[in-house]
Amino acid sequence: MFRGSITALITPFKKGKVDEKAFQDFAEWQIEEGSHGLVPCGTTGESPTLSHAEHHRVVELCVEVAKGRISVIAGTGSNSTEEAIELTRHAKVAGADAALVVTPYYNKPSQEGLVLHYLAIANAVDIPIIIYNIPGRCVVDMSVETMAKLAGHANIVGVKDATNDLTRPQKMRQLVGENFCQLSGEDGTAMAFLAQGGVGSISVTANVAPRLCAQLQDSWHLGTYEDAFRIRDILSPLHEAMFVETNPGPAKFAASLLGKCDPDTRLPLSPLKIKSKARIEEAMRAAGLLN
């Protein structure tokens, strides 16, 4: 259903407001560069600091640009089940192809609580739902057994796995088969994830290297592994640079070096340190992204 390089889009700001033109131009550039899908309003899109009106608008802007050419997977998660349902309903009305729903943060629900949360959303909105499992940000970790249970629901179609546990894709395939869409949430191990049974990646690095990230995925799926290995090695330092400080600060600064947007983030994220900026610029030059 979903595969390849799917960009976890940044949300450009200008003078504290969403820069709608920069966002749409950026989304169009992603499509032109070969990205296979777009995720507005994920973590990289600073969804925790977007108002509901801004969240809705960013999803609408993304769908408007995509025009069905590539998939739009709207971030609609929340630690409030009712809020997640509302955001997911809006994504469907706006024309998104799927919803990316993060595990509830801060609440620390049990595995049973996770099941009830996702079933409530899946029963309320008829749209494909991708579970976003990222224990490093949410504290809670959805087990493979819990995920397999949820995979039985017709609307729960896949996972963005940011656990960095490369045994999980294989375990999930054994439990639910090949049709459950497994996407990596860790750029540094995206190709290893493919080797373990994944079908793509929801990528931060693709914000600044969309063509290379798409080519890596295409090369793997076509079986041209030498090309995939070569691109993997080019991208490796860039993956590290994108997390030299808290995401999406580095990605936004890198995009600003490409002239795509201002580097501004919203508090509580702080401006990048000078040494972080230098490391990001160095990695971009090494990858051939800057002259």
Q: Which residues are catalytic?
A: 132, 160
94: its two tokens: 């706006």
Please give the full DSSP string across 117-148, using - where no structure is assigned. HHHHHHHH--S-EEEEE-HHHHS----HHHHH
Tokens 């609440």 sit on residue: 107
Strands 17-18 and 13-14 turn out to be: antiparallel
Tokens 């899908």 sit on residue: 37
Query: What is the spatial distance between Cα 184 and Cα 239, in angstroms, rounded to a whole number?
Result: 13
Q: Specify whether the CB–CB gap between 12 and 22 falls below 8 A.
A: yes
The one-character DSSP state at 189 is G
Q: Residue 264: what are its φ and ψ, rounded to 5°?
A: -65, 135
Beta bridge partner(s), residue 43: none
Query: What is the spatial distance between Cα 183 and Cα 160, in angstroms, rounded to a whole number?
Result: 5
In 104-207, beta strands by DSSP E: 129-133, 156-161, 181-184, 200-203
**Which SS3 state, helix, strand or coil, does residue 278 take?**
helix
